[in-house]
Amino acid sequence: MKRKNRISPSKLPIILNVQDIKYLLRIGESAARSLFKREDFPKLEIMKRDLVLKDSFFEWLEKEDEKNGR
């Protein structure tokens, strides 16, 4: 299946927000926000904004993939 609008991780900002995660994972806003509430998600809270470092996010995503046996 061909995916449109792929973005290279190197072109992403260093810090990602909920909207970035929503776009990257192609999920809804509430699903993206729920990720930031997970205990194992590497979020940062800066001035009441939920953020995540790009590298930490991709490391977390790889661990999730391994947990699911992929």
Range of the domain at 35: 13-67
Count of domains observed in the chain: 1
CATH of the domain at 50: 1.10.10
Mean pLDDT by 10 residues, the chain (70 residues): 67 95 96 97 96 97 88
- Please report the pLDDT score of residue 32 as a whole number: 97
Return the structure tokens found at 17: 């927000």
In a domain, 1, yes or no: no
| Rounded distance between C-alpha atoms, residue 25 and residue 7, angstroms | 11
- Please report the pLDDT score of residue 1 as a whole number: 47
- Please report the pLDDT score of residue 60 as a whole number: 97
- Please report the pLDDT score of residue 9 as a whole number: 79
- Please report the pLDDT score of residue 70 as a whole number: 67
In a domain, 8, yes or no: no
In a domain, 44, yes or no: yes
In a domain, 49, yes or no: yes
